[in-house]
């Protein structure tokens, strides 16, 4: 039986691990620097672009979508819900935008707005309403009686 030295293999493994750790750490630092620099996709730039396009005639749906997603990433949920509403006025059949708007309303803590939105959603797209109510972000709302009744109604409507 042949016995091979283990030290060279161990050294190669340690060097490869060290190179990987250095690479990941350096990439993290580079990404932080990129995020600090104002870019075309910063909130301020997008707000200015929306204002400019609004004066010119209309803001495209893709711009509203990008803006709403950026607001969610910045945890500005009430503004994000308003941006998703603008998007849905332009393209009312975007299922993902409806879901994201409901989620943004829930995260914003807008209980009455979220209830009214969900109530409308229960009768237009019950399965989507059930999906929204299944999210952990809506847990605090489901404890209220009006929301519990709405959850039951959504499940009943989704069965049809």
- Mean pLDDT of all residues in 129-145: 90
In this prediction, residue 158 carries a pLDDT of: 81
What average pLDDT does range 134-144 have in this prediction? 89
DSSP character string of 71-133: HHHTT-HHHHHHHHHHHHHH-TT-HHHHHHHHHHHHHHT-HHHHHHHHHHHHHH-HHHHHHHH
Q: Which CATH architecture has domain 42-159?
A: Alpha Horseshoe (1.25)
Domain residue ranges of the chain, discontinuous segments joined by +: 42-159
66-87 pLDDT per residue, tens: 999 989 988 899 999 999 999 9
Q: Which of 26-35, 39-48, 94-103 has the highest mean pLDDT?
A: 94-103
């Amino acid at each position: 039986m042949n016995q091979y030295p283990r030290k060279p293999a161990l050294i190669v493994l340690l060097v490869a691990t060290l190179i990987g750790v250095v690479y990941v750490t350096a990439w993290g630092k580079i990404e932080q620097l990129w995020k600090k620099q104002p870019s075309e996709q910063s909130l301020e730039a997008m707000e200015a672009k929306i204002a400019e396009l609004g004066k010119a005639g209309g803001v495209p749906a893709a711009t509203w979508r990008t803006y709403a997603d950026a607001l969610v990433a910045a945890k500005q949920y009430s503004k994000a819900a308003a941006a998703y509403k603008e998007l849905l006025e332009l393209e009312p059949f975007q299922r993902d935008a409806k879901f994201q708007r409901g989620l943004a309303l829930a995260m914003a803590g807008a209980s009455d707005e979220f209830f009214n939105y969900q109530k409308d959603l229960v009768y237009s797209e019950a399965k989507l309403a059930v999906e929204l109510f299944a999210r952990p972000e809506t847990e605090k709302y489901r404890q209220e009686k009006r929301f519990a009744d709405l959850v039951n109604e959504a499940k009943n409507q989704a069965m049809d």
